[in-house]
Amino acid sequence: MDELNARSEDPTLWDDPQQAQALMRERTKLEDSIKTYQSLEAELNDNLELIEMGEAEGDEDVIKEAEAALEAARDIAARQRVLTLLSGEADSLDSYVEIHSGAGGTESQDWASMMLRMYTRWAEAKGHKVELIERHDGEEAGIKSATILVKGEDAYGWLKTESGVHRLVRISPYDSNARRHTSFASVWVYPAIDDTIEIEVNESDCRIDTYRASGAGGQHVNTTDSAVRITHEPTGIVVQCQNERSQHKNRATAWDMLRARLYEAELQRREEEANAEAASKTEIGWGHQIRSYVLQPYQMVKDLRTGVETGNPDGVLDGDLDPFMAAALAARVDGTTAEVADLD
């Protein structure tokens, strides 16, 4: 804080407004954290003294009141601990979320659309903005794939542990015999890099395809080759964008997405090199199932990496994902499960 205060008093700071705003945001965030810590410390000491006084005087009411205050402080401390886990290089950035339906046709496509709604509701509850980048609808229902951009503080930090395969078990609404079906959908999360992060991409390594956008979007969108797909041949990474009517704008967004995917791949490589053992415990690549959502014959959502579970799948599908994210973050950082109170 002393360092940031000194830098904020530099008269040349605002020569670069973007850098100055970033510094002031960091300063405010750190100031809030310090105040919360000091408040918790004071709350702890004051209520421990009250309990000693209550025990000395035999006053049970004072003891109960102090214990209740300590429980409230404990919940605040649990929430603050989760925030300390969001300290990665890219955690503060906005985040892309790609969702792809698995094998199974309409069933999996409907599950993919449910997941799109789940992440959208989670982001909106956080006060984040959600921008649809591309969406490919299924023939009968649901989506084949979709990409959204979540804009908000620590968006990537929260979402990064959601990459992987998600499994749904339910009575199919598309089965006339009302049989139980298992569906899969894949999620891939990567940070939306800003201008301060330089990623060089050799255009000769890329194949660019244009195609006609699908789904709603107006007559112009559906009758011109405005959608853009870029394939980075050395890595096999594919990105696509169709949300704009202009091919030029879609192309620019697709390049941004490609640079973001390459940056995310570099972050994962560094993490694996820094701690191979931890990386093996928290592998989040394609083909790794991370969570099961069971609606029939019982109701439960369970994270297979951390063991965190709930009997309220409706709440989870409505965006209540913080307990799962917090536990996965803790396991990723230090191999423990975060103790999460009410994070709202």
Tens digit of each residue's pLDDT (9 = 90 or more) over 12-46:
988 988 888 888 888 988 898 899 999 999 999 99
In 3D space, the residue among 252, 256, 241 whose CA is nearest the CA of residue 210 turns out to be 241
Average pLDDT, the chain: 84
More confident residue, 223 or 315: 315
Asked which of 66, 84, 102 is the last residue of a domain, the reply is 84
d(CA 81, CA 83): 5
Q: How many other C-beta atoms lie within 10 A of the C-beta of residue 115?
A: 25
Q: Residues 216, 220, 222, CA angle at the centre, nearest 5°?
A: 50
Same domain, 45 and 173: no
Same domain, 99 and 235: yes
Same domain, 235 and 148: yes
Two structure tokens written together for 57: 């005087």
Same domain, 11 and 105: no
d(CA 296, CA 313): 11
Two structure tokens written together for 7: 């830098």
- Which residue range(s) make up the domain with 180? 94-334
Residue 232 has pLDDT above 50, yes or no: yes
Across the range 33-61, mean pLDDT stands at 93
CB 183 within 8 A of CB 167: yes
DSSP state letters, 235-301: TTEEEEE-SSS-HHHHHHHHHHHHHHHHHHHHHHHHHHHH-HHHHHHT--STT-EEEEEE-SSS-EE
Is 190 within the bounds of a domain? yes
CB 231 within 8 A of CB 209: yes
pLDDT tens digits along 169-214: 998 887 777 788 889 999 999 888 866 667 778 888 889 888 877 6
Which residues, 6+ apart, have CB-to-CB distance to 168 below 8 Å?
111, 114, 182, 183, 184, 185, 292, 293, 294, 295
What pLDDT sits at residue 219?
44
What pLDDT sits at residue 271?
65
Residue type, 84: T
Choice among 147-151, 252-256, 274-278 with the minimum mean pLDDT: 274-278
Same domain, 213 and 145: yes
Q: Residue 343 — pLDDT band, cuts 50, 70, 90?
A: very low
